Amino acid sequence: MGAWEFVRNTVPKLEVFTTQPVTEYACGTTVLPATEDDIVPYLNAIKGFVFTIGQFDMMTTSLTPLSTDGHYKGTGKITIPFMLTNLNVSFDDILVDDNLVVKTGKVEAISKGMDAWELEIEIDKAKLNPLQR
């Protein structure tokens, strides 16, 4: 029997598998990563530490430990590279693990609203091009 006949007469074993359902994304929702059972809280964070939150890094500008290990309140700054801007944020109770990753809590933007933000952008553009109308 030649090599070609061997290959031609060999039937591969059929494997059946199931994929995860398709994730549907919508504004205002976020798919959260799986949670870990054994989170080791970080106990000694101070102002200036950089925490990872989602896909962003947040540099803390003020930080106060809370009564529960690894929990903090304060303010920070998140750099958003694709917008070429920094976002000032605040948080009342976040849990930070020993890898400096925010595991739970809510971080909110400090903002004067969209109208004020758009006005600031227009002012910045005018400063860059003062003679352009």
Read off the pLDDT of residues 77-128 as tens digits, 9 standing for 90 and up: 998 888 778 889 999 999 999 999 999 999 999 887 778 878 877 887 788 7
- pTM: predicted TM-score of the whole model, two decimal places: 0.60
Per-domain residue ranges for the chain? 44-128
Residues 133 and 125: their CA atoms lie apart, in Å, by 10
Question: What are the b/e assignments for 46-67, b being 16+ CB within 10 Å?
Answer: eeebebebeeeebebeebebee
Residues 51 and 78: their CA atoms lie apart, in Å, by 10
